[in-house]
Chains A and B, each alone.
Chain A
């Protein structure tokens, strides 16, 4: 077997999950496309958001502000606040993928909730890298295709009726599950979750998740420089 090969069974299992994320992305992408053009954005603007911004929560936030008559600058601020969490995802992602040169530009684009969660949940770095790229491939293709379809035909699918709003919390918990075994992880999860809960009514969208990142920073940077487990 080649040194960098991923066993066929693992490949198939991870690809199936990545396709699941793709289906989810297609439905929400179609919703985004319909909401975006319905909010007065052009087809080109809608497509650029999905292609370049490529982070769903930020896209919905930008379009939401514009739809409610807010200034585009205010929309940009809301989008960037929600996108700030991707910067923190970059730390575990770049530890795993070790991007160099031009590859860094693509890894950056691919670093979002779903790809990060899939990558860090795998038992080995090799599987993590495969999971990251498989998830990115399916999600990116179907998010943009969904956006195009939604923008052209309008409200075609209702993710709520399909129950897809339950998918993200359940899947993120499932991907988080094996990581709770590492030392201190349960305490960090509880503290991060509680802080996010408290901040929901107090802080603008995006801040609760970034605040949880600060909990992880504080916990990880504390203690002896040498010890690791």
Chain B
């Protein structure tokens, strides 16, 4: 087996085992009030961080493509106007695509 296959399988199986570990907490732990609070707050903190990283991380430096940010901003406007998730998706994508086509 080549080194590439070995590294690839370690990475793929390891990624899966990380996921499996995450869904393997016993019910008694999951039902603990503190864990309930953690479970509710984890997506809040992590999705916010994900948004920050996807907008402002340019290969390990701070930076942004203004057309991506503009598309995101248009999506936020749609969100504030009570649009659904799919509309937010379309508004953001179309805005960014249009700006890329024009500039």
Interface residues of A (CB under 8 A from B): 13, 16-17, 20, 24, 41, 45, 48-49, 52-55, 58, 62, 66, 71-73, 75-76, 79-80, 83-95, 97-99, 104-105, 107-109, 111-113, 116-117, 120-121, 160-177, 179-180, 182, 184-185, 188-193, 195-197, 200-201, 204-205, 208-209, 211-213, 215-217, 219-221, 223, 225-228
Given that A200-B60, A201-B62 are contacting pairs, would A86 and B8 also be in contact in the complex, using a CB cutoff of 8 Å? no
Q: Which of A80, A85, A166, A201 contacts B75 (CB 8 A)?
A: A166
A211 to B61, CA, bound (A): 17
Q: How many residues of B contact A (CB 8 A)?
A: 78
Q: Which residues of the other chain, A, contact B32 by a CB distance below 8 angstroms?
A: 225
Q: Is the CB of B51 within 8 A of A227?
A: no
Q: Which of B35, B51, B99 contacts A172 (CB 8 A)?
A: B51
Q: Is the CB of B54 within 8 A of A163?
A: no
Cross-chain pairs A/B with CB under 8 angstroms, 27 sampled? A16-B86, A58-B15, A71-B3, A89-B42, A91-B25, A92-B43, A94-B22, A97-B23, A112-B19, A166-B92, A169-B55, A170-B91, A173-B51, A179-B40, A182-B44, A193-B48, A200-B52, A200-B60, A201-B62, A204-B60, A205-B57, A208-B52, A213-B45, A216-B38, A217-B38, A220-B34, A221-B37
B41 interfacial by beta-carbon distance below 8 Å: yes
Q: Is the CB of A107 within 8 A of B41?
A: no
Shortest distance from the beta carbon of B102 to any chain A beta carbon, whole Å: 12
Given that A166-B72, A170-B88 are contacting pairs, would A108 and B15 also be in contact in the complex, using a CB cutoff of 8 Å? no
Q: Is the CB of B100 within 8 A of A90?
A: no
Q: Is the CB of A162 within 8 A of B93?
A: yes
Shortest distance from the beta carbon of A99 to any chain B beta carbon, whole Å: 6
Q: Which of B5, B44, B96 contacts A192 (CB 8 A)?
A: B44
Q: Which residues of the other chain, B, contact A174 by a CB distance below 8 angstroms?
A: 75, 79, 84-85, 88-89
Q: Is the CB of B49 within 8 A of A211?
A: yes
Q: Is the CB of A179 within 8 A of B88?
A: no
Which residue on B lies nearest to A200, using beta carbons? B57
Q: Which residues of the other chain, A, contact B94 by a CB distance below 8 angstroms?
A: 163
Which residue on B lies nearest to A219, using beta carbons? B41
Q: Which of B10, B24, B48, B61 contacts A76 (CB 8 A)?
A: B10
Please name the 5 residue pairs, one residue from A and one from B, whose CB atoms are nearest each other, closest first. A90-B22, A72-B7, A166-B71, A170-B75, A163-B97
Q: Which residues of the other chain, A, contact B57 by a CB distance below 8 angstroms?
A: 200, 205, 208
A190 to B47, CA, bound (A): 11
Q: Which residues of the other chain, A, contact B51 by a CB distance below 8 angstroms?
A: 169, 172-173, 176, 193
A107 to B53, CA, bound (A): 26
